Amino acid sequence: MKIRVSAVLLLACFLSSMAMSQTPPAPGHGIQPAHIDPSVKACDDFFQYANGTWMKAGTIPPEYPSWGAFYEIYERNLAVLKGILEDAARSTTAPKGSIVQKVGDFYAAGMDEAAIEKAGVAPLASRFERIAALKVPGDLARELGRLHAEDLGGGFNTVVDIDDKNSTSYIFQLSQGGLGLPDRDYYTKDDPQSKELRGQYLQHVAKMLTLLGDTPDAATRHATTVMAMETRLARASMTMVDQRDPNAIYHKLTRAQLTAQAPGFDWEGYFQAAGLPASEQSLLVRQPLFFTELGAMAKDLPMADWQTYLRWHLIHDTAPFLSSPFVAENFAFYGQTLNGTPEQQARWKRVLNNTDAALGEALGQLYVEKAFSPEAKRKALDLVNNLRAALGERIRTLAWMTEPTKQKALVKLAAFTVKIGYPDAWRDYSPLVVTRDSYVTNVIAANTFESRRALAKLGKPIDRSEWGMSPPTVNAYYNPTMNEIVFPAGILQPPMFDPLADDAVNYGAIGMVIGHEMTHGFDDQGCQYDAEGNLKSWWTEADTKAYESRQDLVIKQYDAYRPLPDLPINGKLTLGENIADLGGLKIAFAAFQKSMEGRPRPGTIDGFTPEQRFFLGYAQAWRDLSRPEYLRLLVNTDPHSPARYRVIGPLSNLPEFAAAFGCAEGAPMVRAAADRPTIW
């Protein structure tokens, strides 16, 4: 249900719900003075100042590519979830078909290493046999349809989701995919690192095919075939930056139009095998030119090449759930080579994560009973309402936005749906059968259940109660087609959200995250969706020009940052997240300032004013150590800037920060007024 309240009521909620604790934090809660490096000036490098001592003393656990506050929350959540799953796996009284039985048996099957080693790839035998029997292009299309119904197979990606230009309707969507490397640029760049990584990927594919039974020579030839096919798909793919334009990836076609766009591929055979009802004639094709190339490849390439490609993607998709040789080789490339992670996570953590991926809301029900109280949900909702009121006030006073657009922006803000902690209605897993017989079979069964559940949405009203993350997830999101902000229980834990901390720290930490997600509704992508979630222009031409001139300053600022000497941040790729960081921080600070009105001002704590504690709470929540390989992967593929730049970037644009720490004009943490983007 959407929350639609007037601006007057929002302000009333804002002023009346600010009775959060203004008392000093409990010992060990709030900011951590021991993390601060006093040898660094706050106005020179605030990230290093706030976290430097922690960084000098800290190490990245060998099973992780990076380490920081988010990982600390994640680890604590894992401990809670482990207890839940071990109890469920030991249970002898859980009724068959209950969520306790399903999560317990899924976890137990994943922990049964002896059975997994004995089975090897046998649970996949029928799929490999089908691939080996392919003869003509029609066979290829039908087999891809069968594999996609199990979320396997490569080639391209499909999803059932809301139509961007008709937010009251679901539509079947197709998008580019089919690659084993993280992004199309990994196949197309000619720098030494990219060439070296492609060589390592070739070796990895060959090793995996050898484990499947190929001779070393045959595996090398087949790996070369896979690379050639994936390179063709990559060259036909849009860049990540180009895909940030929602209109550039909106192409509504009929089935007949797709067949004309991408001849050579038997689309009707594919749709029938994938389970798409014949009544669904409209499709959303994100990258039509990609599918033109796919059709040409289906027509031109020998079926033996496609058999090699499908064999590779089947083993690639299932390797983490198979016997130890496959698990080890998969980790050697994707964990060690790509991320720089020395060791795998303990098996129980990997199986736990996969249980969450397969049965997230079943496991989530059990998690919130232990880890997230109704009182915590109420307090988090209070914070959201406070931030929403602050954003509304800010919209009203924007000098660059015209009055008609302000009114529409306020309508959109009031229409935000807010989801806190966990769903009001839990997902029904009754059609999903889970046993202790086979780990990989359970994973595929869960994939198939989700595919069927998604297809069943077609032709039905939008389910506004649905969540895109499970309750234990340490993350948050804004969904433009639902115009909703979502904060799972997993992230609403210390140090991001701590009821025993002082207000300043909570506003700086989780308050910024809340503001970040809210301002996504008005970033360079979100501003193209209206209050109902439709991709529809609602800004005046003057607003658009004013906004673009300001976002150009954001692009320029982040283009200049270099996390690695040879690798700058891509300001266009990270634009939306950088805008949301800047806006979220400004809105959170405004809400915090409002919270102190009408009450005695809090004194200093640990020698820091409330404003200083706000900014320290923010910076310490983003403390981070990252391996260089992982940092390179993030800069190449992640629309978020690395953590260090998520702190120094926004803060250097905020006069409020400079005032709090007495930073003079010209200090490294104070950008010149002419270079400072003033969006919010």
Instruction: Kindly state the DSSP code that residue 76 receives in the 8-state scheme.
Output: H
Instruction: Kindly state the DSSP code that residue 616 receives in the 8-state scheme.
Output: H
Secondary structure class of 252 (helix, strand, coil): strand
* 106 CB neighbour count, 10 Å cutoff: 29
Residue 567 phi, psi (nearest 5):
-140, 100
How open is the CA angle 342-347-350, to the nearest 5 degrees? 85
253-278 b/e (C-beta count within 10 Å ≥ 16 → b): bebebbbebbebbbbbbbbebbbbee
* 195 CB neighbour count, 10 Å cutoff: 11
Are the C-beta atoms of residues 172 and 284 closer than 8 Å to each other?
yes
Are the C-beta atoms of residues 206 and 220 closer than 8 Å to each other?
yes
Q: Strands across the sheet with 417-421, in order?
A: 417-421, 484-488, 477-479
Rounded to whole angstroms, the Cα distance separating 471 from 407 reads 34
Are the C-beta atoms of residues 60 and 330 closer than 8 Å to each other?
no
Rounded to whole angstroms, the Cα distance separating 185 from 43 reads 37
**CA-based end-to-end distance of the chain:** 28
Nearest to 82 by CA among 369, 352, 321: 352
Are the C-beta atoms of residues 106 and 434 closer than 8 Å to each other?
yes
* 565 CB neighbour count, 10 Å cutoff: 6
Active site residue 517: yes
* 601 CB neighbour count, 10 Å cutoff: 9
Read off the tokens for 556. Answer: 């320029």
Rounded to whole angstroms, the Cα distance separating 242 from 636 reads 14
Rounded to whole angstroms, the Cα distance separating 393 from 527 reads 18
Rounded to whole angstroms, the Cα distance separating 263 from 291 reads 9
Q: Is the bond leading into 488 cis (omega within 30 degrees of zero)?
A: no
Residue 108 phi, psi (nearest 5):
-65, -40
Q: Which of 517, 530, 543, 577 is catalytic?
A: 517
Active site residue 266: no
Rounded to whole angstroms, the Cα distance separating 206 from 316 reads 12
Nearest to 439 by CA among 88, 112, 92: 112
Strands, E, within 568-671: which ranges?
624-626
Q: Which of 581, 611, 624, 629 is catalytic?
A: 581
Catalytic residue IDs: 517, 581
